[in-house]
Structure formats: C-alpha cells, structure tokens
Structure 1
C-alpha cells in the first residue's frame, strides 16, 4: 500500500511489517544480502501449506554454497555453470541435478543514446559477430540455449528467426557500412560487468576476444560491484554503454515481453533509449485486442520490428539448473521459476520428508 511505502521510505522493502501478503507464505524476516524468511500463513484460503517456512539464502560464492549443500545446510542450490562438469561426474550429486528451460532471455544490452550504438550498422555488426553456440556450449558449460530473438520458444509471440545469426563476414561488412567505416574510428567501447560474480570475468574476456578477433574492435572491460551496477542500470544518465542484461517472465504472454519492456514509455526502454513508434502502435493495438489470434499476430509483427532494430544482440535463454535433495518432494518446476523449483506451482505441496 502507498502509505506503507511512504512510511518506510526508500528502504520500505526491508521491513516485513510493511509487506502485505495473502499467499500461502508470508515474509517475516529480511537480512539484506543474506536471507529472506517466509513462514506459513495459517489464514490462507486453501489451508496451511505442508512446510512451516521457506528461507531464501543469498551466497555470492558458489563454491561456498555447494559445500553448504553437500553438508545438508541447504536443501536446494543453483550451481554455477563452471561447477556442472564436476557435479555431473559425481555419482551422488548427478542424481540430484534438476534441469529445465527458463522463461528468461539474456542480451548484450546497448545504451542506444551513446555512440557508437546510435548507429544501427554498428549494432548489426556486433549482433552478427557473436557466436552464441560456442558461448553456451563452452563458455557457459552448456547451461543455456542460443537464441536470436527476445521471446523464448514455446511462449506466444516467438516467431523463429535466423536474422543476425553468427556470420563473421556479414559482421565485418556491416561495420564497414557504418558511419565509422570500420573499427579504427570507433570511440572507446566499455563492457560493464558484475565484479562480484567470479564467473563473470572469463565470460566478458571471451566476449571482448570475440569482437577483437572478428571485428578488430578492442573492448575495455569495466568491473563494477553488483549493487553499483544495478543502480547504474536503473538510471538513464548512468546506464552502461554495453552490459549483459535480460528479462525474466512475469506472466506467459507477449504483452509481458514486449509492451512492458520495450514501449517508448516503458521504464526499462527509457533507461537505455529504445523507442520505435511503429512498434508502440502495434503492441498498443495488441494490448487492447480481444481476439486472441489477432493479438498474437500483432505481437509477432512487433517482435519482428524489435529484432530488425537490433537494440542489442539477443544471446541465450538460460536453463534452470538446480541441485535438489532427494528428501525434497511435491514440487513441479515451471519455466517462470527463479528463486527455486516450483515456486509458482507448488507452494502448497512442497515438502521435506527425511
């Protein structure tokens, strides 16, 4: 409620007393950057869930989290891709690995108000020069599926495209056709990344190497702590020139993927400067259309415009990969899961049976 937010100020979200929840669990404790605890709601309309409480624990070091999982201190854990080979080769841990598609898309996001990404040909060059298959299979240890579009396969609005697929020759040609005429006259390009994530460094080094080898462009790597990077990406005046970003589905409809994120007046689009009136016209019409077939067609047209605009290479759809203890039962994973498997479909049935 507005008055509760005003009462708590900018840190209102840290106080469970200022949260209103009518689901099967209610927030009772927040320890910033450490944990959030939810306890069963005895007044939930469907009855009391099987679990008494759920704790979501934050641990930046994936190696520490894995050891805690092995020791039985946590019941579910999302491993870093670099840990997957060892997990898959372990006779016990491999049996506890749960893997399924996530309704998430990651892109190399450009600030469209800053050179050189005001030039569409430069954006096209960067899109063509990214080898998504190698990035997923080798750099990220197979934890993602390459994509060339914003809306993942299986979600209405996905169109299936090969536009801007990896093609070094087309990449070099696009850069030559840009207003810069090639790599030599480009301004400095910075790739800003989360320095709190130990896995980020080799990934951004690979990306920089890819653009150096194919386009002859030298990328400056800019490490920033996670909290600062989040703040930078929320402010149009500080949005990075280039950074990895993405979208996690709120609800399985193209409106959530297109209108909410990419319209000219959308908070997200305003941060990095995307605006296409033709796109806006189509999604606005689709948002108001009652005929499901017609609205999906309109969203597909808008999605194609977005792809054509090349606002930043669409790279991959992550896989949800979890280690789950054998005694955890009653969960049904969905593509929208983010915090843990079954968070949207299984809160009433999720259980621990030791």
Structure 2
C-alpha cells in the first residue's frame, strides 16, 4: 500500500495529503623498571672486572580491548507508525507488535503457534465444550507492582464488547461468548444504564477473584477458545486510565500499565517508541534492557541505516533484495522463510462498479499475478487465488480459487455483463465509471501501484486514478466502511494456525468483512457450523466449503501469499532461532522475547553506550 507518480493513459491524482555507566577505560600498562645494574667492588689484589650488561627490559603485555559495558539494546527499524495502540481497538500488525511487547493475555502463543500458559497457569474446558475456566496465576503483577487478578481480564473482555467504547476492530473475535453479539451490535448506541446492565448480566464472562478464576461461557460448543484467550483483546487495559479518556489514554506511556516482558518508556508520535524491561514480569526480567522502535516509512532509507550500523534489524523488500544478495556480509545476516500472509486486490463492495460481482470477477481475471511476483516483488512470494495460505490446516493450494489470471476472459466477462460498447467488441469505460486506487504513499510504492493501475488500464483500456496518501492515513481509511477505498491492496496476517482465524474472524458480516461492505448470511451460517464442530477433521471440511463459497463471491481478488525477509545483526541472540510464519513486523517477534540477548563483546562502535 504505497504511492505512485505517473502512468501513460491514466488519470493521476496525488493527494497531499537512563543514564548509564560509560565504559571504563583500563589504565595503561606500566612498563617494568629495568633491573638495577650491579657494580662489583674493586678487589685489592685483582684487576677490576667488567661491568655486567643490564638485563633486557620485558615489553609490556598488550592491553585488552575494552568490552562494551552499557545497556543491552535492540534497535528495530520499523515502517508505518501505528494508528492506535489500544488492546480492544487495534487490528493491524503494526499496532499489535507494540501491544505484544507491553502486555500478555490469558494464554500465550509461541513461534510455532502452540498455546501455553500466560496470565493463566492452567485452564479447564467443560465436557460439553460450552465453557472454559482459567486460573490466574498467583503473584501476577503489572510493571508498577500492582497486583493482578481475574477481574483485570474480565474488564478487558467486557471492554471489547462495551457499546460505549467505539472504534473497536476485533470485537467479533469473541462472538462465540454468550451474550457477546447483543452487546457488539449496540456499539455507539446510547443505552439507559439499566439496559446496559441487563446486557452485561447476560454476558458470559465472570471473574471470581477469591478463587483467581475467570469463567468464559459460550453460546454453543467451542473447541478453539484457548487460541482466542491469547489475543490482544484479552490484554488487561488499565480500567482507571482507559475510563479517564477512552480515546486518548493509550497515547501516553503512563496510560499503559504493562504486564508483559516490557513496559513503554517513551512515545514520540510518528517517530519512535522506546520500551524498557519489566522488572515484574512473571517469567523473569528480559535480558535485553531496552528496545527502540524507530519509524521510517521509506524502506530504502531504513535499509541504508541498517548497513551503517544504526539498527540491529530491518525488513528486506523487493527494493532492497538485490543489494542483499550481492553483498556477502549482508547475505550472512539475511533470513528468508515462509509467511502465513495472503494479500488481495480489495474492493469496496458497495461502491460502483464493484457492487457487481461480475466486475469483481473481471478484475480478478485481469490482474497479472505472475507479473506481480516476477517484476514487482522480485520473486518474493507466490501467485495465489485462494485465501488460506499453504501450511495452515485446511489450506488447498492446488485447488482453483478466485477467477484466475486471463486478460481476454476479463474483457469478455465485462462485455457479457453489460459493460461493453454497442458493437460488443470492447469495454465501455463510461459504463464502468470512475476507478480509483488508494494506497500508502512511499517512494518505493509508486512503481508498485503504477504496475497495478497499468495492468488494469492495459487490459480494459480505461483510465484509473492513483491516490497516494500518508501511511497512517491509509490505515485509518481502511478501518471504516465509509472511507475504505474503492480499490486497494490489503491482506491478512495469521493470528493463530486455525482455519477459523482465516474465515470466521475475517469474513463474518460483523467482522472485518464489514470494512469492505461485504456480507453473506449463508457464509456466516456455514462458518458458524464449522466453529461449533468439535471434531477438528469434520470442522476442516466445513471450513473448506466456506472458503469455496467466499471465493465464489470475490469480495476481493487474492493475488499471492508472501514470505518473511529480514536482516539481523549477528550479535543479537534469539530471534533467528524463533522464526514464525506470523513474523510480519520483525524476525522473532512471536518468540520468547524476554530470553533474547545481545553479545556486547561483538557490537560495533556505533552501538548505544547509554
């Protein structure tokens, strides 16, 4: 999602839119004094003896190079600054990466997608699958030392469905909880206190602090809720801070009462977020004292700063891959591995002409997926017409998905469905109407979106407007159905390795599908049936049927799945051993961050001294 400059035959619109100890220098080694020369006394009866030569002076031992003694710092080169850092409102990976460092959910997930203990040290599902009891561990604290209990997590799970808290993006992820739907659908409504109390009385989340237990009850049997329990919607937002300012509490470090491996020290909006190790983290204080995330939109500028030693980690993109592959030193620091990320040409399904499925089909047929991977992505990723990527349970990478690339068929589809000229030989651009692609504007993105627009112009011979906007503006636009662009490039990063995360969480009418104004009640019913099926093998078959129905609607045109590509300095220990297919922001972001370390004996002179 970025910017463009020009395309022949296109209309182009450019929217203007700790003080630390300084390393001690060892005292210079003093050379040993030469041994005293002895002069024998003269003998009365003999001639004087020759004077002995002085003993050779030993050279001083070489001075050992000083080892860095400052703090251990991980310097992350990041791209787009987060739009919002609120556990119950955030939805983009750039937002969630901040939350993961600061907070921890009821359960926790590792780099391989396995669920383990988090705030809860154990949990018990009921025999019928309709409830789950989580036991909150003894001694759990926030970074400031405040004791925590089950009620902290009850508040988080109530806040994510609270009608008074507007702008929530992930609320539908808890739709299985008893009474959640009735609360979610009232978002923004002005309810009488008695009516709100009644709705919450029927909500299936109850805390018992005396027993340190949180009970979650469901509308029907659910077999995957231990995955939901790790997500950011369960992160324990501080009640006092959030209720003082629901829309701004998260903008200041003091608003975040962290319970994760790090706490937020400083926030420079649009520029930098600095984290410090949480001394009260239940797993133990992190080995790396500080993490600095610096935001630079231009990917080439980020890359250049890394090569100069200003960062310890950076993403590698199609704009920088060739430089990495041509440099032996960089290749030794390069990591490339599969990513559970699918991208698509996204359509706002109520803006003409994309309210017509036939038009959406035609644009899916028109897009040159092979050319995108070859010429734009420089070989990063693979062309794809399905939604669930390879490696995820239920994925069917060899089965046909959305309409495949075929330029001639794309034109034929439009002509046969009322968008052709009177002679039926070509597309009538007036019938298609205005077409506009909106994207986050950066230098490297100009060429990318020239390719996208140029592709469609070449196939349909109709003009397209390119609208680049600031990256943070683009993030905000996509969250609201009223502002979600007519055409854009969007996608999904896996939260956990379950087909429910790819289908129900994203494509239900009240979930992210509403961003695109897409809603298929039959699809909702089918996904709901899959969600309620405790036999996983049987559930997978239902999810596969649901994916087929989804792709038949073409709410967006899947184009490819991608890969994770990162550079990491060799003195940073841990991230390379904890690579995850969900690492959309930095290598090792889903691993045990508190165990990561820095070998200070190998850091360069440019490494922070304080």
Task: State the TM-score, normalizing by the size of structure 1.
Answer: 0.94
> Which residue in the other structure is 2:437 paired with?
191
Alignment of 1:1-354 (within 5 A): 1=237, 2-160=239-397, 161-163=399-401, 164-181=403-420, 183-184=427-428, 185-195=431-441, 197-266=442-511, 268-331=512-575, 332-353=578-599, 354=602
- How far apart, in 2, do the equivalents of 1:270 and 1:99 lie? 34
Within 1, Cα distance between the matches of 2:468 and 2:439?
A: 5
Please tell me whether the aligned partners of residues 69 and 75 of structure 1 are also in contact (alpha carbons under 8 angstroms).
Answer: yes
Cα separation, 2, equivalents of 1:255 and 1:16: 34
For residue 73 of structure 2, what is the aligned residue in structure 1?
none
CA distance in 2, matches of 1:20, 1:158: 39
Residues 365, 405 of structure 2: 8 Å contact kept: yes
Contact 1:125 1:175 in 2 (8 A): yes
Note if contact 1:106-1:244 (Cα within 8 Å) is conserved in structure 2: yes
Distance in 2 (CA, whole Å) between partners of 1:280 and 1:246 is 20
Pairwise CA distance, 1:3: 4.2
1: distance between equivalents of 2:563 and 2:445? 17
CA distance in structure 2 between the aligned counterparts of 1:134 and 1:346, rounded to whole angstroms? 38
Secondary structure of 2:241's partner?
Answer: helix
TM superposition shift of 1:326 = 1.3
Shift of 1:217: 2.8
Shift of 1:325: 0.8
Higher helix fraction (1 or 2): 1
Offset, 1:64? 2.4
Cα distance per residue 1:269-314 (max 9 Å; x no partner)? 1121111111100111122221111211111111111111111210
Contact 1:157–1:303 (8 Å) recurs in 2: no
Cα deviations by residue, 1:1-37 (Å, 9 ceiling, x for unpaired): 3542232342222222222432222222222121222
Moved more, 12-21 or 106-115: 12-21
Structure 1: gaps of 5 or more residues? none
Q: Secondary structure at 1:289's aligned position in 2? A: coil
TM-score between both structures, scaled by the size of structure 2: 0.56
The answer to which of 221-230 and 326-335 deviates more is 221-230
- Distance in 1 separating the partners of 2:523 and 2:411: 28
Q: CA deviation at 1:77?
A: 0.6
Superposed CA offset, 1:215-268 (max 9, x none) = 2232211122222222221222222111111111222212221111111111x2
Task: Look at both structures and tell me which one has the larger radius of gyration over its CA atoms.
Answer: 2
Find the residue that maps to 1:245 and give its secondary structure: strand
Runs of at least 4 residues off by over 6 Å: none
Residues paired across the two proteins, number: 352
RMSD, aligned CA: 1.7
Q: Is the 8 A contact 2:300 2:319 kept in 1?
A: no
**Partner SS, residue 467 of structure 2:** strand
